[in-house]
Structure 1
Amino acid sequence: MRTTDQQALVERDLIGALKDMKGLKHFTWRSDAGPVLEEELWSTLKVLGVPSLRIIDHKACDFVGMSGSIEYRSFFESFNFSTFTQLTSLELETRFLAGFDVEDDNKYLPSLIALLQSNATSLEAFNLTFLDPDALVDVTQILSRLTFQRLREITFRRASCTPQSLSRFLSAHPSIVSLSLSPMMAGRRWEQFSLLADSLPNLMHLACSPFHAAKILNGSESSSRPLFCLTGIDVRQVIKLSDYFDVEKQDAYAEDEEVVEVDTYEAEQPITAPWRDELFSKLRSSKQITHVALNENDGPKDLEVLAGLMPQIRWIDVGTKRKDASSKGSWPLSLSKFPELRTLHMRGTGLYLDYLPGNKILNTRIENDIRALAQSCPKLMAYEDYGHSVIIRREVKLTLEVQPRTEPKDRLKDGLWWPSESFVRATVRKNAGPDQPGPAVLDAGYS
């Protein structure tokens, strides 16, 4: 473990090296402790004109228990950080804001809003993730007060907001290409969230809960939206509200609204999904969507429901199966309902590539499973799990080839759950679209 002085020496070398990087385009700070020389570090990056920052603020310290140990401060407290301008991409992953302490939230949130205001004319991509697994931070102020002139991509994780602020923000940002929302944004008040049919005309990728999708999808078969990728939904018909909304978390309300207390008993009762009819109607008419990632499913029958609504799907992640894997023999029949299917992800379904790393040959059981899928889906080209792909070739006879996945399409990266590659960057780099195998899309779990 380092002392403050030792850490300062390391950072001095880093800052010296940075000063020679005149063309630096992106900087990431990822550590259990914040920079000791924070003002000098951020000042150096500002002078360089670095347009893209990723800050992972763990609110932890490697240096405790020794003389000279560091008192860890948030980047929100740094003047030079909070006065950055001309940023085009900003990814903030923090434990300092968690929604637990009103005093902390009131201390740090104004600094974040000031930073965003300073970059409102330049920011194209913004990712705000609250790292504490129990966090829920009300971002209504951000959505109500800010308008970004060039925003293309925005992601919120473990955030809440009022339905009115969400409606206002999305209506004010027609340039958005990729949108990722937390379930508690509008939350149990999702029915009060609404958008005009011509909102978000440039949207290509939507990662959200099923009730959000019921409101955001415009329901027109002739829609001019380029939306082709939808992740995070499910088509479960009998649900419990507690599966979507934490009974211990309150929805966001404006100051002049009366707060409705959470009915914990009702939240645990099985009910027909209240958004089902609206969601199914919108999915059925969304002919342009060809890439779908489910958050979870109740087994192969859910895929048959989805196929009845969206038979055009070419790329699918079936999500996490809620029940046991005893029905795995039914997957090929259910997936055969997607006649255009090219790429298949199957996580948590009992079908996975459980062979030794580096082994190019599948064991007999897995090979038979994948052959059954390939025979049921005549256009299937790739079967993928977290780390590997099986390429399906059909030149003379059906053959299978194992390949490592070089780009993480799920959020499992570096052993931790981080967002995958920017959808916009991946789309531009790979020219991704409905006819492509699929960009590195976000895996939108409930967080």
Structure 2
Amino acid sequence: MTETPTITHAPAVLVLEDGRRYDGRAYGATGATLGELVFATGMTGYQETLTDPSYAGQIVMMTAPHIGNTGMNDEDMESSKIWVAGFVVRDPSRVVSNFRSQRPLDDDLEAEGIVGISGIDTRAVTRHIRSAGAMRAGIFSGDAWNLTHGEQLELVLGGEQMAGRNLSGAVSTTERYTLPAEGERVGSVAVLDLGVKTSTLKYLAERGFDVHVVPQSITAEEVLELAPDALFFSNGPGDPEASDHHVDLLRATLREGLPYFGICFGNQLLGRALGFGTYKLPFGHRGINQPVLDQATGRVEITAHNHGFAVDAPIDRVSESTEGFGRVEVSHYDLNDNVVEGLNCLDIPAFSVQYHPESAAGPHDANYLFDRFAEMVRRHRGGSRSGEAAHPDPATTDDAATKEKND
């Protein structure tokens, strides 16, 4: 058992852009912070959520009432820092009790300047967000708590909307780096870092890829100069409609025949590259318990999500890409609301999913997609020599999926 964290009783308030106010206690650093208020439904995995770069610009509210009981450690970091704009919980754990814990959650929040609030009815706030939609908000404590109600609301209303916002430059690496392949080498993959998670890179390397992580500012010409065997677009924050550069880059590389796999933000960018539109969801999908149907296998997967935007494509038929990339099908969709959760190109080697198959944190149902990607690259390399199909049969990855779930 690690040291009991210090829970402050200093007052704090959560202010929503529609004027609603929720009084609580300061948690983590004190001060003022602004962002889009969203809720995450995972009962565990708060460390992975906090360090996921795709949460940049968002105040994250945990729907599970008890947060912090397993503490924090250095092994579960999905990036080098905490990215959330603010953190909202109901009951911070007063006791940290886990053999892997190295320090209390509150210590990391305070050390990294993350302004949070505790002691509010997160269930009531979640019900409001589900009805009214995700919205701008602010957390005020310390000196900022002394501002008038009007001054606090004015600050919230002056904050940026998530729609139209490009955050890739804030979360991406600025320098290229490489992770070597593990085991039997499949080839090399260029990973466009739009907010990539550590687990994603690990799983790609474990599938036999030399992983070349490149900045989001890279050009198509620079990608092709690397001569990778495949291209991967990561998860990340922001509005896909504000990422024209990445859409143009993807179109150029797809026309060169480079196999592609995208997750989360990478799914939205593939949708735009193919000619589909994207739109903002009312409150998005965030958490580790989202049911998704794989239409190729009929398997329902419980998956980890963090997205507030989605691709506008029909889930009940094959479409034709208006950008000249052939036939496209929706491979996965969410069983809660029929939102598109995956795309599969039938005439070029490219597919994507809207969720996080790296399972950090979350169920391992979708981890087999990394195997599917590796098999697609193998087939594409073999097909370029022998004329074989470039796409894997989803049924061939069922055994890998079952093994992953049983491990």
| TM-score normalised according to structure 2 size | 0.30
| TM-score normalised according to structure 1 size | 0.28
Q: Tell me: higher relative CO, structure 1 or 2? Use CA pairs within 8 A at least 6 residues apart.
A: 2
